[in-house]
Chain A
Amino acid sequence: MAPERALVVRGSGPGGARLAVFLLLAAAGLWAALVLDLDPRRLWPGREGWQLGAEFFGRALRPALAREGADLPPDLPPLWWQATRAAWRTVSFAAAAMLPALAGGLLLGFGGATAWWAGGRRSWLGPAVTAACRLASVGLRSVHELLWAVLLLAVFGVTPLAAVVALALPYAGTLGKIFAELIDEAPRGPAGALRDAGALPVQVFLFGLLPRALPDMTAYSLYRFECALRSAAVLGFFGFPTLGYYISASFENLYYGEVWFYLYVLLALVAGVDWWSGAIRRRLGR
C-alpha cells in the first residue's frame, strides 16, 4: 500500500488553490443539506413511494404498444400515431425556434464581441454596443424558457407561436453570449488586417472573424438544438401539444406503459440528434 499512497501525494501536484476549491465545495454542500433539510435516510422512499416506484419502473421494460385503459372512445387515434405527431411537434417547435434564436444570437454575439472594435480607433461606440448586447444577452437568458412561456401564455394563449417565441428568446441570449466568447477567442490577425485596410465592422465580422469561429459556433448551435428539443418536450407540461403533454396526461391516468412509450420516443429523438451532432462535430474537427 505504501507506494500507492506515495504516488497519490506526488500526483496531486501544486494544489493549494485546488484544495481550497474542494473545501469550499464541501462547505457549500453541507450548507445546502442543512437549508434543505436533506436527510439521507429519506433518500429511500417510503412504502407507498416504493410501491409506486416498483409499479412505474417495472414498466420500463414493458412499455405499452397500444393505448391502455378500458372504454376508450372509438375515434381515438392509435398510440403510435399520437406519439409520432407529438414527436413531430416537438421537433418542429425546436427547429422553428432555432431560426429567430440564431438570428438574434448572431446579432447579439457580433455586437457583444470586442474583436470588431478592439485595437481600432478609439471611440465610445464600440464599448457601448458591446455592453448593451451583453446586458441584453444576460437579461434574455436569465429568465427560463418555461417562465417566458408563462408570460407569453398570458398574451398569446396556448398557440404554437407562443411556444416558439418562449424558446427563441432565452436561446437567442445564450447563443449571443457564447457566440461573443467564441468570436473573441478566434485568432484576430485577419480581422486586424481587414480593419487596417479600411473595411467596415460588418465586413471585418463577415470575412475576418466569422470564418475562424464558424466551426465552433456550428457545433454549439447543434448542441443548443438538442437542448431546444428537450425544452420543447417540457413545454408540453404547460399545455402545448408536445411529448411532455402526453407524458403528464398518461402519468396522471396511471397509464405507466404509455408514459414509458413516450419517454422512449423522446430518448430516441434526443439520442439521435446527439449522435448526429457528434458526427458533424467530428468532421468539423471539434
Chain B
Amino acid sequence: MTAREATIRRLRAERPRSRFLRASGWAVVGLVAVSWALGGFLAEPAWSAGRAANLRRLLHEVVPYPLQGADWSWSVAATWLGGIWRDYLGEATFSTLATSVAAILLAGSLGAFLVPWAARGFACPEPFLTDPVAPRWPVRLAWGAVVVVARALLTLLRSIPEYVWAFLLIALYGPTAWPLVLALALHNAGILGKLTADLVEHLEQPTLAALRGLGARRRQIVFAGIFPLSVNRFLLYLFYRWETCVREATVLGMLGLASLGFWIQDARARNHYDEMVLVMAAGGLLVTAGDLVSALARELVRRT
C-alpha cells in the first residue's frame, strides 16, 4: 500500500459520521420503498385504452369551443379570449393578485409581532446578555413558557395547510374576501414568524448585548438593534413567501370564492374544459409574473 493510499484510507476513516444521519437516510429509503410497494400506485396498468380515450377527449375539448372541429383561426381565438377576459377572467386575475398581496402583508405583520415572543435570545430575563445576574427561577420559568407558547402557536399556524384554513374560515365568514386572505395570512404568519425568530436568534450577539449593557429597554432593542439588523432578511423571506401566496391564491377560489380557482371549478362543473385550461394558463402566467417581480424586489433589497 503506497503512502498516498494509506492517507486516503486514513482520511476516509476519519470523515465525520453521524449515526442519526445514517439512520435517517435509511429511514427515508425505507419509507419511499414501502410507499411504492404498498401504495397501490401501479395496481392497475398506468396506461390503458380507457385512459387513452380520456386523454383524446380531453385534448379535443381543450381546444377553444368555436374552433373545435374547425380550422385554426387567430381572429376567432382572439375574440373568444377577449370575451372571456371581459366576462370574468380579467377581474378574477386582479382579485387573485390582490388576495396574495393583502395576505402577505397581513402575514408579515402578524409574524413580526410574534417574533419577539418566540426568539429565545430575546424572550428571556436579560435579552442577549450571555452572563447576566442569575434571575430567580419563577422569572426564568415564565419566559420559558412564553417562548414555548409562541413557538407552539407558530407551529400550529403553519402546520395547517392554507386550503384547510380557507375551508374552515369560509364557514365562519361567508362569501367575503376575508377567509381567503386570512387563510393565506395565518399559514404564512406561522412560516415567516418561525424563520424570523430563528434569524433573530442568530443575529450578531455582541451588538445587541452592548445595547442591553448600556441599559436599553426591550422596545429600544427591538427598534434600534433587531429591526435594522434583520429587516433585509425579513423582506427577502416576505417576497419568497409572496410567490407561494400568489400560487395558492389561484387555487383557494376552488372553495367557492371569487378568484381564478372559482372559475376553474365553475368551468369544470360546466364541462367547458377549454375555459378551464385557459384560466389555469392565466394563473400560470400570474404565478410566473409574480416570481419575476419577487426576484427583482429581492435584488433591490439585497443592494440596500
Contacts and interface: CB of A to CB of B under 8 A. Distances in A.
A8 interface: yes
A142 B244 CA distance: 10
Majority SS at the chain B contact face? helix
B153 interface: no
A53 B173 CA distance: 9
Interface stretch (B39-47, B78-86, B115-123): B39-47
Interface stretch (B97-105, B126-134, B142-150): B97-105
Given A143-B284, A283-B20, A38 B177 contact: yes
B206 interface: no
A177 to B, nearest CB: 9
Contacts of B97: 32
A46 B161 CA distance: 25
Contact of A274 (B155, B172, B228, B250): B155
Nearest to A232: B161
A160 B42 CA distance: 8
A10 B257 CA distance: 46
B227 interface: yes
B201 interface: no
22 contacts: A4-B217, A7-B223, A31-B98, A33-B102, A36-B98, A36-B177, A42-B176, A45-B174, A91-B31, A92-B34, A92-B39, A93-B35, A99-B36, A142-B288, A143-B284, A144-B248, A150-B268, A160-B39, A161-B46, A164-B39, A267-B160, A280-B24
Contacts of A154: 54, 58, 273
B139 interface: no
A233 B54 CA distance: 26
A280 B21 contact: yes
B297 interface: yes
Contacts of A36: 95, 98-99, 102, 177, 181
Contacts of B2: none
B278 interface: no
A279 B38 CA distance: 28
A199 interface: no
Interface string B263-304: 010001000010011001001110110010000010011011
Contacts of B67: none
Contact of A53 (B20, B102, B161, B172): B172
A82 interface: no
B63 interface: no
A203 interface: no
Interface stretch (B4-12, B68-76, B163-171): B163-171
A214 to B, nearest CB: 12
Given A21-B301, A237-B163, A267-B160, A138 B176 contact: no
A49 B224 contact: no
Interface stretch (A11-19, A119-127, A190-198): A11-19
A237 B167 contact: yes
Given A36-B102, A138-B288, A155 B216 contact: no
B284 A161 contact: no
Interface string A149-189: 01100111001110010000000000000000000000000
Contact of B105 (A10, A28, A56): A28
Contacts of A280: 20-21, 24
Given A143-B280, A271-B155, 20 more contacts: A17-B303, A18-B231, A21-B297, A21-B300, A33-B102, A36-B95, A37-B176, A38-B102, A42-B178, A98-B32, A142-B284, A150-B276, A154-B54, A154-B58, A155-B54, A230-B161, A233-B164, A237-B163, A247-B167, A266-B164
B182 to A, nearest CB: 8
Contact of A11 (B227, B248, B283, B291): B227
B300 A283 contact: no
B193 to A, nearest CB: 14
A7 B172 CA distance: 44
Interface string A13-56: 11111100100010011011101111100110110010011001
Contacts of B141: none
| CB-CB nearest 10 A-B residue pairs | A11-B224, A142-B284, A92-B35, A32-B98, A35-B98, A36-B177, A32-B102, A7-B224, A32-B101, A270-B159
B111 interface: no
